[in-house]
A = this chain, B = another copy of it.
Amino acid sequence: MKFITKLIKSLEESGSPLCVGLDSRLDKLPTNLLNGGSIVEQIFCFNKAVINATSDLCCAYKMNLAFYAAFGTEGLEALRKTTYFLKEKHPTLPIFADCKRSEMGESVKMVKQEIFEFLGFDCVMVTPWFGVDTVANYLDDERHGVMVYVHDSNPSATEFQDLIIQDPQAPARTLPLYAYVAERISKYWNTNGNVAVEAGLTYPKALSTIRKIVGEDMPILVAGLGPQGGNPNSLNGLFGKGKSRLFVNVSRAIIFPENPSSDYFTAVRLSAENIKALLTQAKAD
């Protein structure tokens, strides 16, 4: 199945705009609940429990690879076991590799082998810094996607992304760099339907501009809800076609709930339910 079909089907059929971020760093896990075992088993056991508690509440999972790679080959093996568990048990839910692997040419073949084959992801996430060469070698494979960080949620995202640039085709026309990036992606990069974009909820004006530029069809993954300060009301009107072309990643607030009651993974589920409800409300408004 095409990546974009899988993603849109999941957005439509799950009815949930929630993407659960499995940034399961070993040193923060409630290891007392994980029955010991190797590093691989501890991380995988935690992830399985989170997935079991959330899979019917979300449309996708995203993992930041840094949180696994920090723990060496065992961390990566735990990640691989997690993606293959997801593929087997929840084959309709796409899995995003938040990895900033912005390679080009020959090295993209290597990233495909790492991210899609070895680690089993559906979609790789890249920065646009090096231009279209970064996505070109992904366009021949519709079964996998490539998602571009257009405007991130962190404080210094504005340092370059918000700079006012001159359109090289019409120098009198000026626009913010992130908007120009969104234009290039939408008009020239996404020639085979498998490119999507990421933007931060902490910059609602940029997010809204990006939706206007990429149109109603293209899925947008949104970061920055919750601890980073994003307000779900800023999502009103930005969900795109059929209100199912936008989804929101939440990681820490779900996998490390603030007040884990008697049962940790019940608290995980409750947290996911609450966030899903907030997002569903924003969609309905």
Query: Interface residue count for A (Cβ, 8 Å)?
Result: 55
Closest CB-CB distance, A206 to chain B, in whole Å? 14
Residue A48 is within 8 A (CB to CB) of chain B in the complex: no
**Which of A9-17, A83-91, A148-156 is near enough to bind chain B?**
A148-156
Total copies of this chain within the assembly: 2
In the A-B complex, the 4 residue pairs with the smallest Cβ-Cβ separation, listed nearest first, are A131-B156, A131-B159, A70-B110, A70-B113
Residue A171 is within 8 A (CB to CB) of chain B in the complex: yes
Q: A66-B114, A164-B166, A174-B166 are in contact. Are A101 and B100 (CB under 8 A)?
A: yes
Expressed in whole angstroms, the Cα–Cα distance for A130 and B150 within the complex equals: 10
- List of B residues within 8 angstroms of A131 by Cβ: 154-161
Q: Is the beta-carbon distance between A160 and B133 smaller than 8 angstroms?
A: no
Closest CB-CB distance, A101 to chain B, in whole Å? 6
The residue on B at minimum CB distance from A158 is B131
A residues whose Cβ falls under 8 Å from a Cβ of B: 23, 25, 64, 66-67, 69-73, 76-77, 100-105, 107, 109-111, 113-114, 118, 127-134, 136, 149, 152, 154-161, 163-166, 168, 171, 174, 177, 180-181, 184
Q: Is the beta-carbon distance between B177 and A160 smaller than 8 angstroms?
A: yes
Expressed in whole angstroms, the Cα–Cα distance for A134 and B225 within the complex equals: 20
Q: Is the beta-carbon distance between A103 and B66 smaller than 8 angstroms?
A: yes
Expressed in whole angstroms, the Cα–Cα distance for A64 and B154 within the complex equals: 26
